[in-house]
């Protein structure tokens, strides 16, 4: 069926920063690369900076722009609201969109507190609207393959998970303050990077029952802006580490740091089973490394390369080894959301699951502060 003979689905996007651009690209790519159950229309783009909103709307192909996000939500032609603003704004924007009966695609972390996350989840459930949260790394076809291998028992019984998500964009003590440094924004490495890893651990191995953790602010002040003499006090975590106890019996470690020099997008894990080990690193997102015991002197890790056999890959490229990138993962996330709106969603992170990620992050914060094991169900 031709796209324009399908029912229109109007998209409203809030924010034109790093993720605003990634969402715009993903919506474009979704409609050019996949057969979707709706005719996606890029209706409105909002940003607090009116001139930038207008300029981006023009170049990204949105019909109109707003400086006031509430106008975008009130627009009857907008059916799906995508939120790519700083974390503190997720709650008011998502709640307003839910109240207006719109579907919501919100960037991670869902909220700045577990209380907010719970309110958002309840409101979405009561309103019956479709929700998704931007835990895009799970949409990598290689992560789908990893999940399949784990569930098929190809690694035997899972006994361990070692995960780390580090980058180095705050590694320099002179890297300036930003909203990501504010507690009010649930700032810090745990919320910014660690939330992705917690979502991934849950996606692959299920519930985590208990955590024990330690967190540290390495640079207690930073320049207000790059090169400025004005210093701002910082109290959020630059790095957080934790021990994890999974409900399936596996034991694990978790690390998140935005100061670890040399790493740019190192969302990585090694999963150990009684019959093998599986390893992944987002900096090499088209590969899995698999070890299964072989003859002595001849065994070793096998490198599995992404190809059209993995669902999602073939839509972008018919040949193996040509490699997908970050923006393709975002596109696959959007496609799953649009399928869900058409009644065929499968594995996206909705507000209920994102709330569980918040609960886990909150348990880690409590454990670090009180220097003890915390049972996640007590939080």
Contact 208, 359 (CB under 8 A): no
Task: Indicate which single residue of 4, 5, 18, 296 sits in contact with ligand NAD (rule: CB under 6 A).
Answer: 18
Which pair of structure tokens corresponds to residue 26?
A: 């993903």
Binding range to ligand NAD, per CB under 6 A, among 40-48, 228-236, 335-343, 366-374: 40-48
Interface mask toward ligand NAD for 258-297; x: CB under 6 A: ----------------------------------------
For 16-50, b/e burial (b = at least 16 CB within 10 A) is beebbbbbbbbbbbbbeebebbbbbbbbbbbbeee
Contact 270, 288 (CB under 8 A): no
Contact 259, 215 (CB under 8 A): no
Residue 202 beta carbon to ligand NAD: minimum distance, rounded to whole angstroms: 16
Residue 81 in contact with ligand NAD, rule: CB under 6 A: no
Closest CA to 272 of 164, 194, 163, 135: 163
Residue 19 in contact with ligand NAD, rule: CB under 6 A: yes
Task: Indicate which single residue of 85, 116, 138, 282 sits in contact with ligand NAD (rule: CB under 6 A).
Answer: 85
Residue 134 in contact with ligand NAD, rule: CB under 6 A: yes
Residue 59 in contact with ligand NAD, rule: CB under 6 A: no
Q: For tokens 């695609």, what's the residue?
A: 105
For 98-114, b/e burial (b = at least 16 CB within 10 A) is bebebbbbbbbbbbbeb
Task: Indicate which single residue of 102, 108, 260, 266 sits in contact with ligand NAD (rule: CB under 6 A).
Answer: 108
Query: Which residue number has the CB closest to ligand NAD?
Result: 17
Q: How many residues bind ligand NAD (CB under 6 A)?
A: 22
Residue 196 beta carbon to ligand NAD: minimum distance, rounded to whole angstroms: 7
> Residue 213 pairs with which residues in a beta bridge?
242
> Contact residues for ligand NAD (CB under 6 A)?
14-20, 46-49, 69, 84-87, 89, 107-108, 134, 136, 192
């Amino acid at each position: 069926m031709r796209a324009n003979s399908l029912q229109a689905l109007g998209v409203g996007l809030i924010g034109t920063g790093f993720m605003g651009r990634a969402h715009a690209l993903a919506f474009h790519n979704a409609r050019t690369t996949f057969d979707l159950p709706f005719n996606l229309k890029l209706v409105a783009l909002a940003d607090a900076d009116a001139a930038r909103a207008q300029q981006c709307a023009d170049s990204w192909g949105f019909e109109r722009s707003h400086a006031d996000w509430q106008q975008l939500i009130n627009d009857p032609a907008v059916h799906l609201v995508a939120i790519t603003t700083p974390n503190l704004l997720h709650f008011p924007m998502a709640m307003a969109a839910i109240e207006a009966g719109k579907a919501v695609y919100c960037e991670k972390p869902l909220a700045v507190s577990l209380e907010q996350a719970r309110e958002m989840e309840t409101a979405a459930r009561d309103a019956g609207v479709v929700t998704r949260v931007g835990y895009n790394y799970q949409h990598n076809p290689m992560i789908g393959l990893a999940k399949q291998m784990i569930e098929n028992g190809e690694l035997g019984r899972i006994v361990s998970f070692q995960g780390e998500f580090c980058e180095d964009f705050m590694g320099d003590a002179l890297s300036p303050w930003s909203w990501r440094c504010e507690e009010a924004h649930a700032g810090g490495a745990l919320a910014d990077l660690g939330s992705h890893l917690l979502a991934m651990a849950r996606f692959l191995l299920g519930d985590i029952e208990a955590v024990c953790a330690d967190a540290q602010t390495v640079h207690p002040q930073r320049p207000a802006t790059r090169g400025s003499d004005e210093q701002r006090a910082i109290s959020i975590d630059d790095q957080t580490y934790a021990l994890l106890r999974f409900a399936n019996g596996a034991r694990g470690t978790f690390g998140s740091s935005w100061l670890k020099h040399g790493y740019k997008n190192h969302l990585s894990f090694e999963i150990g089973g009684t019959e093998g080990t599986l390893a992944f690193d987002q900096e090499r997102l088209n590969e899995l490394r698999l070890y299964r015991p072989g003859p002595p002197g001849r065994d070793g890790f096998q490198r599995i390369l992404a190809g059209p056999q993995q669902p999602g890959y073939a839509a972008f490229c018919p040949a193996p080894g040509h490699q997908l990138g970050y923006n393709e993962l975002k596109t696959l996330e959007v496609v799953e959301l649009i399928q869900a709106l058409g009644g065929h969603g499968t594995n996206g992170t909705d507000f209920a699951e994102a709330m569980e990620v918040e609960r886990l992050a909150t348990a880690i914060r409590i454990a670090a502060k009180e220097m003890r094991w915390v049972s996640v169900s007590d939080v």
